[in-house]
Amino acid sequence: MATTENATWWARTHGADGDVLVAYFSMEFGVETRLAIYSGGLGVLAGDHLKAAADLDVPLVGVGLFYRGGYFVQGVSGEGRQTEKYEELDPEALGLRREVEVEVDLGGEVVTAGVWRYDVGSVPLYLLDVPWVTDALYGGDRRHRIRQELLLGVGGVRALHALGIEPSVYHVNEGHSAFLTIERARMLVEAGRSTEDALEQIRHTTVFTTHTPVPAGNEVFGDDLVVRYVGSLAESAGISNEQLLALGRSDDTDGFGLTPLALRLSAHANGVSQLHGDVAREMWQGLWPGREAPIDAITNGVHLGTWLAPELAELLRDSGVEPDAPPAWANWPAARTLDSGALWRVHAARKQRLAELAGLDPERLTIGFARRFATYKRAGLVYSDLERLLALPVQVVVAGKAHPQDGPGKDVMQQIVELSHGAAAGRLVFLEDYDIELAQTIIPGCDIWLNTPRRPHEASGTSGMKAAINGVLNLSVLDGWWAEAYDSAYGWAIEGTTDEADATELYKLLEQQVVPRFEARDAWLEMMKASIAGLAPRFSMARTVIEYADRYYVPATRGA
């Protein structure tokens, strides 16, 4: 065990816990732009989780799927409509290494999956590959989806076993991989455990993170489909079809839900912000009649090494902050003493890069809005009174993708694209094909980060965290992370009541507070410093992973 001051966080804090090994399962991972096996926030969060685990030396491996067609490349038609193109990914060209092969029964058809390895620092990420199953992320019908999720959950457990990796804890990041609990039960029963004992052991050693604050957003399959694809596997674990279906049943939805399955077979479950924890407990209360749903909260974070602009990181180091260190060791209060002139020069350079990319004015107050085009996110709220918006000395940068099957989301995007070429030309720009690389230019290049979901539909909202750590001030609905982070020193809050009321409040804040404060440069710079110093340590992924390790990973390994 390392004992020097230079030892890693894990060695200094849990050096005696040598039997801890976490398997982190996720449907998507956003590690880098080229490895396009992520669609948005969930995947980027998972990638950041692996990076922070590597920084902290937490013993963890990642498990996911390798999508041959990746996620789609977004284009915009002449009518402003989203277009989707899938480009073949070459695993070897991306630096992946073939490790082993495993077999999985998919509804009576046994398939052989290749297992690729991609190293995220010291953390290995294992990706299963059956080209006709893992053809694209979130594509196909319900049968295709259950095949992918069986491959992830069942195949992932088998891949780790084939590699000689025996995790002490399984972390199910969203419900997509929840079938891993049935495969683990099969293995334990075949090794001589009773079904009841096997399920109890699985509960104690499983962590489940839910990300979805509305019932309709959780994965649900018809009973017939579940019996066809999972029935024989469950039978091998001593679980009848009736018992299997009961594990996935809830009062709120018809069919078999992966979230109820994961919740029933996890002793450690959490939402991804404090408010989302409240919402999740209320949503799933019916699974625990007579007592409060045992769902806690660990608020998401972002990986500072990925999302802190390099020039700002250098300036922070010169001022005595160590942004790469665990939050408690980093001396973040020193960020409040940053030289104002140097900070503004760094920010002006970031704005210049964005302005050159987007064709905007680098001097004008720039508002950023970049995220998935789902209707609850209300991307059009700031344009609800266009004349009032254009009367202000502001410009807006918008980016994001709509899910290929989300017609209403595509409609919202089209309306914004049309505005950018019409009534708001020169003051509104839409940048297509939003990805990690583009986000690293857009987010730190803005002055204001806007987030306007219908409360409480935003489980977390990590783009706002990426803005805050860069001194970009948040102007957002009190939802997700901002509900617990908001302070008038860091930005502005919209109450989140009705569309009309929120639009009115948004315009008043822009007119009466945001624009005047921006024009009072010294006061704006003080807010930038406060945002960096106050929010970077609280919403770094290092803090999030430390919480998972202390509260879940080590206790789960101990059977607590």
- pLDDT, residue 5, reads 62
Q: Can you name the residues that pair with 221 across neighbouring β-strands?
A: 256
Weakest mean pLDDT among 111-125, 149-163, 205-219: 205-219
- pLDDT, residue 102, reads 98
Average pLDDT estimate for 337-349? 98
Coil/strand/helix, residue 398: strand
- pLDDT, residue 493, reads 98
As given in the structure block, the two tokens for residue 96 are: 């992946």
β-pairing verdict for 473-477 and 491-494: parallel
If you search the block for the tokens 């804090």, which residue do you land on?
Answer: 13
**Above 50 in pLDDT, residue 1?**
no
- pLDDT, residue 43, reads 97
β-pairing verdict for 109-120 and 123-129: antiparallel
CB–CB of 430/416 below 8 Å? yes
pLDDT band at 99 (very low <50, low <70, confident <90, very high): very high
**Above 50 in pLDDT, residue 226?**
yes
Weakest mean pLDDT among 4-8, 31-35, 64-68, 521-525: 4-8
pLDDT in tens, 249-277: 998 778 999 999 999 999 999 999 999 99
557 vs 419: CA distance, rounded Å: 54
CB–CB of 283/224 below 8 Å? no
175 vs 25: CA distance, rounded Å: 10
- pLDDT, residue 6, reads 73
**Above 50 in pLDDT, residue 25?**
yes
Average pLDDT estimate for 293-297? 97
Q: Residue 310 contacts by C-beta under 8 Å, 6 or more apart in sequence?
A: none
Between helices 462-469 and 41-56, what is the axis angle to 10°? 50
Domains and CATH numbers, the chain: 9-300+543-557 (3.40.50.2000), 305-539 (3.40.50.2000)
- pLDDT, residue 251, reads 83
Average pLDDT estimate for 470-492? 97
Q: Can you name the residues that pair with 115 across neighbouring β-strands?
A: 100, 128
Mean pLDDT of the chain, nearest integer: 96
550 vs 314: CA distance, rounded Å: 30
pLDDT band at 3 (very low <50, low <70, confident <90, very high): very low
* Bond preceding residue 537 cis, omega within 30 of 0: no
- pLDDT, residue 471, reads 98
**Above 50 in pLDDT, residue 2?**
no
For residue 347, which of 317, 379, 384, 308 has the smallest C-alpha distance? Answer: 308
**Above 60 in pLDDT, residue 410?**
yes
% residues pLDDT > 70 (the chain): 99
- pLDDT, residue 162, reads 98
CB–CB of 136/70 below 8 Å? yes
